[in-house]
Amino acid sequence: MRSACRQPDADERTHVTLISPRLFGRDRPSQRRESRARTHSIQIILQSHPLHLAHRLPGLAVFDMDSTLIQQEVIDEIAASLGPEFAEAVSAITARAMNGELDFEESLRERCQLLKGVKGGIWTELRERITLTPGARELVGCLKSLGWKTAVLSGGFQPMADWLKEEIGLDFAHANHLVVSEDGKSLTGELEGDIVHAERKRELVVKIAEREGVQLGKTVCVGDGANDLLMMGVAGLGVAFNAKEKVQVAAPTRLNADSLMDVMYLLGYSQDEQAEILKR
């Protein structure tokens, strides 16, 4: 569990930290749970009974990719193939961009320029190094079983988003397109097409929802970076998952947990109900 254990400042008390009931165990007396809540400086504990019944009807669930559905930042992994100097430079820019300290599109183009010359087949190698966030596959499986549409909207790159879409069964995948040299042997460091920045993510949420006949109030958006805040804001339920500190403060809802499956608690599904859905 990666929940913050400090006492929240006064200006943070309007924000909600939702904690998995697993932290407290099952069938424990409520007084004991309240005592643990005080010990951990938890603002609100999400109990096992359904709190968000409105979200039980099928809708649209949208996820960021890097550090949300997967545990890595893909652009940092590509840079690592060029050596530690490139890796450190790209990683530093990535961290500042995700924290909202830099313009996302400008910083993305700057980082992509550093990738010039990387072999065009890097995506196959990356698939072997990328690890799914715990609960990602199970969460998508549960939502699909319940009739939800699912999408990944990434400020990363389309080849990895397409792979992830097939790997865990998503319905839609939108990301950025890195240009490959004419002979297909290397990346040029340039981008083509629309950049999937914060505004574009919000536009895509609205567009996909309209296409699927889903009201925005029935959408869930989950991400960890500053470029996810706009899509969180337009969604019926916007969730900052293990997000950067500034993002947690600005997000509609924040969830700090080891598993993405804990999003199911926000939708009103108890641990027992989740287990039953996973059996389908």
Of 26-40, 57-71, 162-176, least confident by mean pLDDT is: 26-40
Query: Average model confidence (pLDDT) for the chain?
Result: 84
Whether 70 shows a pLDDT value over 70: the answer reads yes
- What amino acid positions are annotated as catalytic residues? 64, 66
Average pLDDT over residues 212-235: 96
So what's the pLDDT on residue 27? 44
Give me the residue label for tokens 């966030």: 133
Question: What are the chain's domains?
Answer: 14-48 (no CATH), 49-73+132-278 (3.40.50.1000)
DSSP for the chain, please give it. Answer: -----SPPPGGGTTS-EEE-GGGT-SS--HHHHHHHHHHTT-SEE--SS-S-GGGGS--EEEE-TBTTTBSS-HHHHHHHTT-HHHHHHHHHHHHHHHTTSS-HHHHHHHHHHTTTT-BTTHHHHHHHH--BPTTHHHHHHHHHHTT-EEEEEEEEEHHHHHHHHHHHT-SEEEEEEEEE-TTSSBEEEEEES----HHHHHHHHHHHHHHHT--GGGEEEEESSGGGHHHHHHSSEEEEES--HHHHHHSSEEE--S-GGGHHHHTT--HHHHHHHHT-
So what's the pLDDT on residue 102? 82
- Residue 206 C-beta-side C-alpha neighbours within 13 Å: 10
Average pLDDT over residues 245-249: 90
Of 108-117, 135-144, 182-191, 254-263, least confident by mean pLDDT is: 108-117
